Structure 1
Amino acid sequence: MVGIKYIIIIGNYLLRRQIVFFTFIFCCLSAQAQREQNRPNHDLLPYYFGLSLSYNNTYLHPEKHPMFLQNDSILSVEPGTSGGLALGLAATANLAKHFELRFIPQLILGGSKYFTYHLKYPTELEPEYQKKTIPSTIVSFPLQLKFNSDRIDNFRVYMMAGLKYDYDLASNSSARNAENLVKLTKSDFGYEAGIGFNFFLPVVTISPEIKVSNGLSNIHSRDVNLKYSNVLDKLQSRMLVFSIILEQ
């Protein structure tokens, strides 16, 4: 038993020595990486380009119409969230120290909007809970003003805000023009705001970013003859976006 105890003590001692050794090596490598600044003249570029890959979580924010209180056939209307992917190009112009102007046209796929209706008088054709899905494929044109912090070795934080214009390519599809579906307009204007981080690698800059992208327009094309549309007044898009941007 005594021998086993000594073996355990020696093993723990050697393990601690290894942890200290590898921690020391890691700190040395980190310090070396911090001293070697990648592409130190990057901020002197008048402009540069890149690619953007995004995942978004989106829904429609509704405002009820007074007809909702008068219509006793629908007890509640709840919006649902859905996810989608976006692929875009990035073009950034250097305006002044700490300030840049960025344009990111992108195609947003998926992210169909939907509402769940609770019906007071369900039938065989219309169950108590009705889910109405609105297909969506959007071309978005955001224009953003970026404020960059000072660069700390190969790392930097930035904040951005701007305006966007969205055009829904699915607005004229047969699925969207179904008689029992809530109609949306083709165009939407909105704002964006978020925060991101620049990691300067030897040949590329990787920038994870999170932002809100909300519509300001009422995109609901109300149909008084459709009960699912009649109870809704305004609909505005709401989106939370996580992006990875690769830039030169």
Structure 2
Amino acid sequence: MRKLFVLLTLALTLNGFSQKGLGMFGKDPIVNLENFDKQRVHWGYYLGFNTYDFKFDYIDVDKDIEVQTTTGFNVGLIGNLRLMEYIDLRFEPGLYYAQRNLIYPNIEDQFDRRREVKSTYIHFPLLLKFSSKRIGNFRPYLVGGYSQSMNLGSNSKAKDDNYDERFRMKKMTSNYEVGFGVDLYFEYFKFSPSIRGVFGIDDELIRDNNPESPWTGNVASMKTRGIFINFAFH
């Protein structure tokens, strides 16, 4: 996914070169959208990819539960409030589709040792964006903050558990996020590719009814970890 991020950024940059020549990012660039960042409020949207993982902590030392990650999809909106010249407050609600496959090494049965954890998150991040000084049509930034996630596939209200092939998680979780990106200013829009890490604060696991369950009995905590790659348009 990181290679895709680099290739897409390069492709858009080259497209800018073809339209404006070396004037866009060259030594003496033609400055696009010169007053764009002076707006008090502006809006945008993003598309992207995610890779979700779990971090397990255990009650007793044992073999690690294996987490097989897959690539998911993100889509959302951006609301940006300018606080001062180099600091913005951002709200980026979005829909995130993800899947993680758990392999339990201590369970011999090939069917029972595997659990597919499919999640559809409604994600609510509130972030601070720290931008550098703009250089022509290029402006890198750092971003970080707090988020809440609502997992629509949590099975939190189900009475069945792993003994009935149902993996349960809490519906609401809290996270902190940190990342970086770059604003690229084109003639008619601003394009902002970014990469961000998300780190769960809460234990998300709902234990099975049997305290000795081989799926949940030895788990002290299970927290989300993830990487988001987003492509934003303003």
Task: Place the TM-score, normalised by the shorter chain, in its bin.
Answer: 0.7 to 0.9
So what's the TM-score if we normalise by structure 2?
A: 0.82
SS at match of 2:22: helix
2:187 aligns to what?
202
Counterpart among 124, 135, 145 of residue 141 in structure 1:
124
Give the fraction of aligned pairs with identical amino acids, expressed as a percent. 25
| CA apart distance, 1:168 | 0.5
Decide whether the 8 Å contact of 1:54 with 1:242 is kept in 2. yes
**2:76 is aligned with 1:91:** no
- How has the CA–CA distance of structure 1 residues 107 and 153 changed in structure 2, closer, same or farther, with 3 Å as cutoff? same
| CA apart distance, 1:184 | 0.8
**2:174 is aligned with 1:189:** yes
2:31 aligns to what?
37
SS at match of 2:32: coil
Partner Cα separation in structure 2 for residue 151 and residue 176 of structure 1: 55
2:149 aligns to what?
166
SS at match of 1:92: strand
| CA apart distance, 1:137 | 0.6
Structure 1 residues 1-248: aligned runs within 5 Å: 29-31=21-23, 34-66=28-60, 76-109=64-97, 111-119=98-106, 122=108, 126-127=109-110, 130-172=113-155, 179-223=164-208, 225=210, 226-247=213-234
Partner Cα separation in structure 2 for residue 41 and residue 243 of structure 1: 24
| CA apart distance, 1:136 | 0.7
SS at match of 2:37: helix
Partner Cα separation in structure 1 for residue 59 and residue 24 of structure 2: 63
Any unmatched runs of 5+ in structure 2?
1-16
SS at match of 2:154: helix
Partner Cα separation in structure 1 for residue 200 and residue 181 of structure 2: 21
Partner Cα separation in structure 2 for residue 147 and residue 229 of structure 1: 41
Partner Cα separation in structure 1 for residue 159 and residue 177 of structure 2: 27
- How has the CA–CA distance of structure 1 residues 176 and 201 changed in structure 2, closer, same or farther, with 3 Å as cutoff? farther
| CA apart distance, 1:171 | 1.9
Counterpart AA for 1:30: L
Partner Cα separation in structure 1 for residue 101 and residue 215 of structure 2: 12
Decide whether the 8 Å contact of 1:119 with 1:129 is kept in 2. no
Aligned pairs, number: 211
| CA apart distance, 1:139 | 0.3
| CA apart distance, 1:236 | 0.3
SS at match of 1:158: strand
Counterpart AA for 2:103: T
Q: Which has the higher helix share?
A: 1
- How has the CA–CA distance of structure 1 residues 65 and 114 changed in structure 2, closer, same or farther, with 3 Å as cutoff? farther
- How has the CA–CA distance of structure 1 residues 163 and 54 changed in structure 2, closer, same or farther, with 3 Å as cutoff? same
1:7 aligns to what?
none
Any unmatched runs of 5+ in structure 1?
1-24, 70-74
Question: Which stretch of structure 1 is more off in the superposition, 30-39 or 175-184?
Answer: 175-184
| CA apart distance, 1:115 | 1.2
So what's the TM-score if we normalise by structure 1?
A: 0.77
- How has the CA–CA distance of structure 1 residues 118 and 88 changed in structure 2, closer, same or farther, with 3 Å as cutoff? same
Decide whether the 8 Å contact of 2:29 with 2:137 is kept in 1. no
Counterpart AA for 1:56: N
